[in-house]
Amino acid sequence: MKNVKITGHPLIQHKISLIRDVNTGSKDFRELVSEIAMLMCYEATHDLPLKEVELQTPLSIAKTKVISGRKVAFVPILRAGLAMVEGMVRLVPAAKIGHIGIFRDDKTKTAVDYYCKLPFDIAERDVIVADIMLATGSTAVKTINLLKEAGVGNIKIMCIIAAPEGLEAVAAAHPDIEIYCGAIDERLDDNLYIVPGLGDAGDRVFGTK
């Protein structure tokens, strides 16, 4: 799929193996997710525009580059995506942060949004959506719908583990969106968990199980 970029860096791959391990507890899981998110964010921001500036070093004038143009916002999907934000903000401290809460209604099998708080100037920003797992893709598709309705033109998704079904759903609904993922797993099981995956990402971040 041409809109999917796999972040194959060895540090990312090693840390993904650690979070898959059932013996990794919440504290380590949270720290690793934050580190993975920081490394993935480095890759997802590779195309931020630069402009040349001149500044004074202790020795002379240097012609050098700084990030220019549009500003950035990060939008974690509640609740697991929250664990990714700290690492991302370490790389881009000026980024604003929006939050989107979506749950899946088991009866209607649809994604229902229950919370959406975005920066007032979101339409002027490039947005990176963060979630640990991209399973069916319904949450990601709904999130992109909300962001496009809010006027956002440049959206990327960052997920640590994706199922092929989720990648296909996002590509079908939003072919313009780039997805950065650390690993593509085999499939979804009957409960819509990613196999082999890492279990329930929210429970593992917050220690709720």
Name the residues annotated as catalytic. 104, 108, 200, 203
Angstrom CA distances, 148 to 71, 113, 122, 124, 155, stand at: 16, 15, 10, 12, 9
For residue 111, state whether it binds ligand URA (rule: CB under 6 A): no
Q: Considering only the stretches 29-37, 81-89, 100-108, 198-206, report the one whose residues sit in contact with ligand URA under the rule CB under 6 A.
A: 198-206
Among 146, 152, 184, 201, binds ligand URA (CB under 6 A): 201
For residue 147, state whether it binds ligand URA (rule: CB under 6 A): no
Q: Are strands 99-105 and 96-97 parallel, antiparallel or unpaired?
A: unpaired
What number of helices (H) and strands (E) belong to the chain?
A: 6, 12
For residue 137, state whether it binds ligand URA (rule: CB under 6 A): no
User: In the stretch 41-80, what mask flags binding to ligand URA with x, by CB under 6 A?
Assistant: ---------------------------------------x
Specify the residue, 81 or 98, whose C-beta has the smaller distance to ligand URA.
81
For residue 135, state whether it binds ligand URA (rule: CB under 6 A): yes
User: In the stretch 156-195, what mask flags binding to ligand URA with x, by CB under 6 A?
Assistant: -------------------------------------xx-
Asked if 130 and 158 touch (Cβ cutoff 8 Å), the reply is yes
Residues β-bridged to residue 129:
75, 157
Residue 2 tokens read as 């041409």
Q: Considering only the stretches 62-70, 71-79, 81-89, 196-204, report the one whose residues sit in contact with ligand URA under the rule CB under 6 A.
A: 196-204
Asked if 26 and 83 touch (Cβ cutoff 8 Å), the reply is no
Task: Go through the chain and tell me how many residues it has.
Answer: 209
Asked if 175 and 3 touch (Cβ cutoff 8 Å), the reply is yes
Q: What is the distance between the terminal CA atoms of the chain, rounded to a whole angstrom?
A: 35
Residues β-bridged to residue 72:
126
Specify the residue, 133 or 167, whose C-beta has the smaller distance to ligand URA.
133
- Minimum distance, C-beta of residue 140 to ligand URA, in the bound complex (Å): 11
Asked if 81 and 132 touch (Cβ cutoff 8 Å), the reply is yes
Specify the residue, 119 or 166, whose C-beta has the smaller distance to ligand URA.
166
Residues that bind ligand URA (CB under 6 A): 80, 133, 135, 193-194, 197, 200-202
